Structure 1
Amino acid sequence: MNKWFKNPFAYLALLIPALIGGFFVLGGVPGFSKLPTSTDQLRITIVDQDKTAVTKSIRNGLKDNVPFKHVTISSNLSAAKSRLSDRTDAMTVQLPAGFTKDVEAGKNPKLNFYVSDSNGLLQNNVTRSVISAVQGKIATELTTARTTGAMAKQMAPQIAKQVAAKAQANAAKQQASAAKQGAQMNPAAAKQMQQKMQQQVKQTIAKQTQLQAQKAAQKLAATPDTHTTHLHKIGGNYQYQMGPMFLNMGFYLGLMIMSIILTLMFMGARYAMGKWLAFLMAQINGVLATVIGPLVTVSLLRCFIQFNGGTFMSLLGSEWLFGLGAFELSFSLALLLGGLPSFLIQLPLMVSQTIAGGAIIPRQAMNSFYQWLSYHTPMYQGVYMTFNSLYGGGNGSAYSTTLWLIVAVGLIITILAVAIGYRGKEPRGFSRWISFN
C-alpha cells in the first residue's frame, strides 16, 4: 500500500475527477446566467404588406408585446426571409395584402409565420412559443378599442363619401320641391340650413363609422387563419437537433487529448530525430486524424440521421476543416504549456465552447464572454457548418473563413513555440515519458 501511494500517478488519479468536475461547473454553468431573459436579444421582423391603419395598429401592438427588444418593420418579405436564413433574425411575421379587407368582410384574416429550423435548441423552442403568443395577441388586438379606432379611420373616407352623396341628394330634392312651390329661401336662411345639414352629416358619418367598425371588429373574435413556413426544416426528433453538437464536441475532445499525446511524443522524439522533423511528424499525424476522424463520426451519425450522399461529402469537408482548426488551436496550447499541464487550460476551454458553440443557446442570448468565445474558437463555426450541411441556411463562408484564420494563427504559434523553446540537450521531465531511442 505504501508503495502504491508513493507513486505520483495515484494522486493524479485522485485529482483528475475533481478537476474535470470543477471545470465543467466553471465552464458550463455561468453560460446560463442570463437565461431566460437574454432571449429578448433575438430579432424579429414584421412584414406589413397591407399597409393600412388596421395593420399599423396590429404591428405596433406586437412590437410592444413580443418578448424581443429588436423588432424590425418591413414590407419586403424576400429580404426578411434572407435575414432569417442567415440567422440574423429569429422569426418573421407576415401581415399579407388583403388583411384589412378580410377584417372588414368579417373573415378570418391570413397570418403567416416564417422560422428557420437550422438553429440551436433554445432558439427553436423560443420561436415555437412566440408563435402561439403572437396568434393570441393578434386575436385580442383585432377586438380592442385601438383596432376598432384604426378600422374606423380606415372606413371613414368611404362612409363619408356615401353620407355626403346622400345628403346632397336630399338637399337637391328640397331645392326642387321649393322651386316647384314657387317659394324662395332668403340667403341667411339658406346658409343656416346648409350649416345645419353639414353638422348632421358629420354626426351621421361619425356614428355610422363607429358602428360599422365595432361590428367588423366583433366578427373577428375567432383566431386568425395562421400558417407557419419552416425554412431548412429538420427531422421530427431531437437526434436531428442535437446531432451537430455531439458530432463536433466529441471530435474536439478527441483532438484535444491527441494534441497532448503528440506534444509528449514530440518532446521525446526531438532528441532522436531533431525538433523540426519531430514537429513535422506531429503535424502530419494531426492532419491525418482530421481526415480519419470525420470518416468514422459522420458515418456513425448517418446511422441515426437520414441524409444523402451529397450531404455526407459536405459534412466530411466541413468536419475536416473544423478538425483542422481545433487541432491547431489545441496543439499550439499544448506546445506552449509543455504538454500535460495544458490540460488545465484546454479542458475549461472545451467545456466553455459547449455553451459558446450555439447548439443550445443562440449567440444573441449569450453573455459577452461566451459571445466573444463563439467568434474566436472553432466550436461555433463547426456546429453551424454542420447545421448548414445537414439542413441548409447561414453564411457558411464566414464560418469557414474563421476556421482558416484559427488554423493559420495556431500554426504560427506552434512554429514560434518550437523555434523559441525546446532547446534542451538532455531529456527531462515529460520528455522522458515517451522515448524514441
Structure 2
Amino acid sequence: MVVFLKNKIVIGGIFMMVFYQIAMIGIFMYGYSAVPKNLPDLTVAIVSEDEQTGAKMVEQLKEQLPFHINTALSLEQAKTELENRNVHLIVHIPQNFTQQLSQPGEQAQLDFFMNDSNPSTTSSAMQSVADQISSKMVAQIQTQSFEGLLQNMQLPEDQAKQMVEGVMTKVTPNMVVTNPKPAGMHNQMAPMFLTMAGYVGAMIYSMISVGALQQMKGQLGKWKAFFSLQGLNALLALIVPLVGLTIYFSIHGYGAETFLKVWMVHSLELFTAISFTSIFCMLAGQVGMLLNMPLLLSQSIAGGAMMPQEMMPGLFKVISYISPMFYTIQLDYNLLFGGGQTSKYLLGLALIGVGALLINTLIHQFKGVKTTTEENTPAAQPQFM
C-alpha cells in the first residue's frame, strides 16, 4: 500500500478525487442557491385593455407580485417577448372584463399566457403565479372599492352586494400554453442531456487530440499537423452527434426536418466544444483538465436548462455568455419545442467556435516544436503532479 501511495500516478488520482468533490459541491451549492431565491428576477407582463376594473387590478398586482412587472407592452408585443423568453408570463385583462362582471349569468375571463419551452423552474413557477393571481383577483373584486364601482354604474346598493358575493364563480382563468413539451421528464431534460453528452465527449477528446498534436507536429510539421487536426475535428463533429441523436429520436421522433436541424446544431456545438476545451489543453497539457472540469460543472448551471439566465447568480450569468452549452440548449428548446431568437443563438455559438479556434491558433503559433528525442524523455511525459 505504501508503495502505491508514493506513486505519482496514484497521488494524481487521489488529488483528482478530492479536487472533483471541492469543485462540484462548491459550484452546485452556490449555483442552485438561486432557486427559489432569485425567482423575483423573472418578468411578468400585465396587459390591461379594461379601463375600469383593469386599471385598479394592474396597480394592485404591481404592489403584490414579487417580480419585474412590465405594463408598457401591447398584447402582441408581450407575446413576442414571451416567445423570446424575455417575458415569462403574460396576464391579460380583456376589454370587456368589467362588463362581464356586471352582467348576471356571465363569467369574466382572465387570460394567462405561458411559454412552456423553458426550464422546469420557470414553467412551474409561472403556473403557480397564475393560480395565485386568479385567487387574488377574486378577493380584490370583493373589496369595498369594487362595490363602489358597481354603485357608480347606477346599481342599487343591495344588488351591488349580491353581485360581489356571487363573483366567486364569475372570474375564470384561461391558461394559454405556447410551445408545449411532450410528456415525460426525458423530453424536458433532452436539451441538457444531448448538449452535455456532446460537450463531455469533446472535453475528453480534446485532451487526447492535443497530446497527439504535440507528437505529430514534429513528424508532419507544425502547421500541417495543426490544420490536419482541425480537419479531423470538423469531420468528427459532423459524424459523432448522429449516435446520440439517433438514440433520442428513436425514442421520441420529431420528424426528419427537425432531426436534420438538430444534427447541424450539435455538429456546430461539438466542433465549438472541441476548440473551446482545447484552449486549456493547448496551454497546460493534461493539467488543463483541472480547468475544463470546473468549467463543465459551471455550464451545467449556466447552460440554462435548470434555470433561466435571469435567475442565475452573477458568476454563472457571465459564464452563460461564453458558454457553448448555453447557446446549444436554447437552440434545442427552439427546435424541439419552439421559441424565438434562433439566429441570435446560432450566431453566439458560431462566434464562440471561431474565437476559440483563433485562440488555439495563436497558442500553437507561439509553442515550439519538440524533437522526437525530447518527446520521449521522462520530463516530456504528461504529469498531473
Q: What secondary structure is seen at the aligned counterpart in 2 of 1:47?
A: strand
Q: Deviations over 1:253-279 (max 9, x none)?
A: 110111111111111112222221221
Deviations 1:355-387 (A, max 9, x none): 001100111111111111111111110101011
- Distance in 2 (CA, whole Å) between partners of 1:295 and 1:383 is 17
Contact kept? 1:117, 1:124, Cα under 8 Å: yes
Query: Does 2:19 align with 1:19?
Result: yes
Distance across 2 between alignment mates of 1:430 and 1:310? 52
For 1:253-332, what aligned pairs fall within 5 Å after superposition?
253-332=200-279
Contact 2:119 2:305 in 1 (8 A): yes
- Residue 116 of structure 1: CA displacement? 0.6
User: Deviation of residue 310 (structure 1)?
Assistant: 1.0
Residue 102 (structure 1) aligns with? 100
Inter-partner Cα distance in structure 2 for 1:74 and 1:414? 46
Matches within 5 A, 1:380-391: 380-391=326-337
Amino acid at match of 1:248: T
* Corresponding residue to 2:310 among 364, 377, 382: 364
User: Aligned letter for 1:311?
Assistant: T
Which whole-Å CA distance do the structure 1 matches of 2:36 and 2:326 have between them?
A: 21
CA-CA distance at 1:97 after TM superposition: 2.3
Cα displacement (A) at 1:6: 4.8
- Measured at CA, do residues 393 and 430 of structure 1 come closer, stay the same or move farther in structure 2, by a change above 3 Å? farther
Letter in 1 for 2:69: V
SS at match of 2:167: coil
1:374-401 Cα shifts (integer Å, max 9, x gaps): 1111111010101111011121111111
CA distance in 2, matches of 1:123, 1:256: 30
The aligned counterpart of 1:244 is: 191
* Cross-structure match for 1:192: none
Name which of structure 1's ranges 52-61 and 108-117 shifts more when overlaid on structure 2: 52-61
Percent identity between the two aligned chains: 25
Q: 1:219 aligns with which of 161, 166, 173?
A: 166
Shift of the 223–257 alpha-carbon distance from structure 1 to 2, 3 Å rule, reads farther
Paired with 2:85 and 2:12, the residues of 1 have a C-alpha distance of 44
Please give the alpha-carbon distance, in whole angstroms, between the structure 2 residues aligned to 1:429 and 1:24.
33
* Alpha-carbon offset, residue 223 of structure 1: 5.9
Instruction: For 2:61, give the aligned amino acid.
Output: L
Cα gap change, 1:214/1:55 in structure 2, threshold over 3 Å: closer, same or farther?
A: farther
Q: Secondary structure at the match of 1:36?
A: helix
> Is the 1:54–1:151 Cα contact (8 Å) retained in structure 2?
no
**Aligned counterparts of 1:100 and 1:6: Cα–Cα separation in 2:** 81
Residue in structure 2 matched with residue 348 of structure 1 by the alignment: 294
Instruction: Tell me how far apart the structure 2 counterparts of residues 223 and 300 of structure 1 sit (CA, whole Å).
Output: 49
Decide whether the 8 Å contact of 1:103 with 1:217 is kept in 2: no
Change in 2 beyond 3 A, CA 1:75/1:223: farther
Length-normalised TM-score, structure 2: 0.92
Tell me if the contact between 1:325 and 1:406 (Cα under 8 Å) persists in the aligned partners.
Answer: yes
Tell me, yes or no, if structure 1 residue 92 matches structure 2 residue 90. yes
Equivalent residues in 2 for 1:422-437, closer than 5 Å: 422-425=368-371, 426-427=374-375, 428=377, 431-432=380-381
Pairing of 1:151-170 with structure 2 (within 5 A)? 151-153=150-152, 155=153, 159=154
Q: Which residue of 1 aligns with 2:148?
A: 149
Q: CA separation in 2, counterparts of 1:75 and 1:280?
A: 51
Aligned to 1:117: 116
Give the gaps of 5 or more residues in structure 1. Answer: 160-207
Question: Which stretch has the larger CA shift, 302-311 or 383-392?
Answer: 302-311
> Aligned AA for 1:250?
A
The 8 Å contact of residues 239 and 305 in structure 1, kept in 2 or not, is answered as: no
Q: How much has 1:54 moved relative to structure 2?
A: 1.1
Rounded Cα–Cα distance in structure 2 between residues aligned with 1:382 and 1:119: 14
The range that moved more, 407-416 or 8-17, is 8-17
Residue 27 of structure 1: CA displacement? Answer: 2.4
Q: Does 1:8 align with 2:8?
A: yes
Q: Provide the C-alpha distance between the structure 2 equivalents of 1:151 and 1:53, rounded to a whole number of angstroms.
A: 10
For 1:117 and 1:347, the matched residues in 2 are separated by: 31
Residue of structure 1 in register with 2:129 after alignment: 130
Cα distance in 2 for partners of 1:397, 1:283 equals 25
Query: Once the 2 structures are TM-superposed, how far is the Cα of residue 292 of structure 1 from its aligned partner?
Result: 1.9
CA distance, structure 2, for counterparts of residue 347 and residue 296 of structure 1: 24
Equivalent residue, structure 2, for 1:373: 319
Range 302-311 or range 377-386, more displaced: 302-311
CA contact (8 A) 1:319 1:382 kept: yes
User: Where do 5+ consecutive residues of structure 2 fail to align?
Assistant: none
- Measured against aligned partners, the alpha-carbon deviations of 1:384-427 in whole angstroms (never above 9, x if no partner) come to 10111101112111111111111121111111111112344422
Q: CA deviation at 1:431?
A: 5.0
TM-score by length of 1: 0.82
Larger Rg computed on CA atoms:
1
The separation in 1 between residues aligned to 2:70 and 2:160, in whole angstroms, is 28
Cα distance between partner residues in 1 of 2:364 and 2:32: 39
Equivalent residue for 2:176?
Answer: 229
The one-letter code of the counterpart of 1:394 is: G
- Written as runs of structure 1 = structure 2, the 5 A alignment for 1:175-214 is 210-214=157-161
CA RMSD of aligned residues (A): 2.0
How far apart are the structure 2 equivalents of 1:73 and 1:258? 50
Q: Could you say if the C-alpha distance between residues 32 and 6 of structure 1 is closer, same or farther in structure 2, counting changes exceeding 3 Å?
A: closer
C-alpha distance 367-314 of structure 1, shift in aligned 2 (>3 A): same
Distance 2:333 2:379 in 1: 40
What is the one-letter code of the residue matched to 1:105? Q
Mapped partners of 2:203, 2:311: distance in 1: 27
How far does the alpha carbon of each residue in 1:301-322 deviate from its partner, in whole angstroms, 9 at most, with x for none? 1133331111111110111122
Please give the alpha-carbon distance, in whole angstroms, between the structure 2 residues aligned to 1:371 and 1:210: 55
Q: CA deviation at 1:248?
A: 0.5
Aligned residues: 378
Contact 2:279–2:360 (CA<8 Å) still a contact in 1?
A: yes
In 2, Cα distance between equivalents of 1:67 and 1:304: 40
Closer/same/farther in 2, CA of residues 323 and 149 from structure 1, 3 Å limit: farther
- For 1:418, the aligned partner's letter is H
